[in-house]
Chains A and B, each alone.
Chain A
Amino acid sequence: MDIAALLAWLEASPLAASIRNTIVAFPLVESGHVIGITLVFGTILVIDLRLLGLAWTRRPFSLIADEVLRWTWIAFAIAAVTGALMFITNAAAYYNNWYFRAKMLLLVLAGLNMVFFEITDRRSVLTWDRQKSAPPAGRLVAAASLAIWIGVIFLGRWVAYAPAATGPPPGEEVDFEKLEELLK
């Protein structure tokens, strides 16, 4: 199955159709997506500021990470599920949207950044857990994380403002002429 067929199959799925055809579905899924991504950023910020030595520096890093990261993962799961639901409603338009592609690339970078932290400073956490900030690698990861997640938010918003060549923003515009063609 080539990618175009896969995208068409996703768009034609009953789930995608029911989201498109229910007036409140897409806005509510989108709202859930905003809640997910803002909570990802807001909780990651707590971690990154601690790594950078800018906030909550008197509390051990590992304690803060234990308390906060579970919520980050819950929020990420919400963002991923709602994001997938938005994607299937208009799969080809999203797939061909450069802001969307750049956002996916940033998400991969966010994952690599996290893996880099896991194999560097996270392993030696007990040696710096109570220090004011993480060693240089951890601080670099934190700064990169903030830049990446702010970038994800910006690109996510810009997906809806992509040039017309990549199709109208899903859910915000209906092409009645095309619709009439299809109904004929």
Chain B
Amino acid sequence: MRGVSRFADWLAQTPLSTAIQVNEWVIPTIQSIHIVAIGVVLGSVLMVTLRILGLAARDQTLAETNARFGPWLTGALIVLLVTGILMIVGEPARELLALSFWMKMVLVAFAVAVRPRAPALAFVTLLVWLCIVVLGRLIAYDHVWGSWSAALKG
């Protein structure tokens, strides 16, 4: 992880990073936009999951339901990517040296890759999105992982 640590140090000295660091309102504002976008993702994923489980939109096909929520999901994911990158640039060590962050990225890779059709996978995918939210919040409390988190900071 020494390479990651050095990268974080370098990133923290870039002009964009220092600009974010000196303006104290920037990080909370980016975080707030990030949370609003998570709302759009969770709402969309919940509705598609309910459709697959037969608990909503039974008058709509799955394709129609995906057509309704897909663009919102994609748009929100783009907002999450941009605000997420800005948070990394603004606080590189806090994000890149957190075990919670890397576990979150693994789950994000899974969640954006699957297009569930079967109820079981749809339900699992919804749970994975909820875990992503939890891990995102745990970045601020990475010490909860004890020595596993400390090992990352080496």
Interface set of A (CB-CB < 8 Å, partner B)? 23-24, 26-28, 30-31, 34-35, 37-43, 45-46, 55-56, 59, 63, 67-68, 71, 150, 153-154, 156-158, 160-161, 171-172
Asked if B43 and A41 sit within 8 Å, CB to CB, the answer is yes
* Chain A contact surface mostly: helix
A-B pairs, top 3 by smallest CB distance, nearest first, are A42-B43, A41-B39, A38-B39
A43 to B31, CA, bound (A): 20
A157 to B133, CA, bound (A): 14
CB distance from B64 to the nearest CB of A (A): 9
A31 to B141, CA, bound (A): 11
* Chain B contact surface mostly: helix
> What residues of chain A lie closer than 8 Å to B50, measured between beta carbons?
67, 71
Asked if A24 and B144 sit within 8 Å, CB to CB, the answer is yes
Q: Tell me, yes or no, whether B41 is within 8 Å of chain A by CB.
A: yes
| Interface size of B in residues (CB-CB distance below 8 Å) | 34
A170 to B141, CA, bound (A): 12
CB distance from B148 to the nearest CB of A (A): 13
Interface set of B (CB-CB < 8 Å, partner A)? 24, 28-29, 31-32, 35-36, 38-44, 46-47, 50, 55-57, 59-60, 68, 72, 130, 133-134, 136-138, 140-141, 143-144
Asked if A42 and B28 sit within 8 Å, CB to CB, the answer is no
Asked if B42 and A45 sit within 8 Å, CB to CB, the answer is no
CB distance from A17 to the nearest CB of B (A): 19
Asked if B36 and A31 sit within 8 Å, CB to CB, the answer is no
Could you name 24 residue pairs across A and B whose Cβ atoms are closer than 8 Å? A34-B38, A34-B136, A35-B42, A38-B43, A38-B133, A39-B46, A41-B36, A41-B40, A41-B43, A42-B41, A42-B44, A45-B43, A59-B57, A63-B59, A67-B50, A71-B50, A150-B36, A153-B36, A157-B32, A157-B35, A158-B28, A161-B24, A172-B140, A172-B141
CB distance from B35 to the nearest CB of A (A): 5
> What residues of chain B lie closer than 8 Å to A40, measured between beta carbons?
39
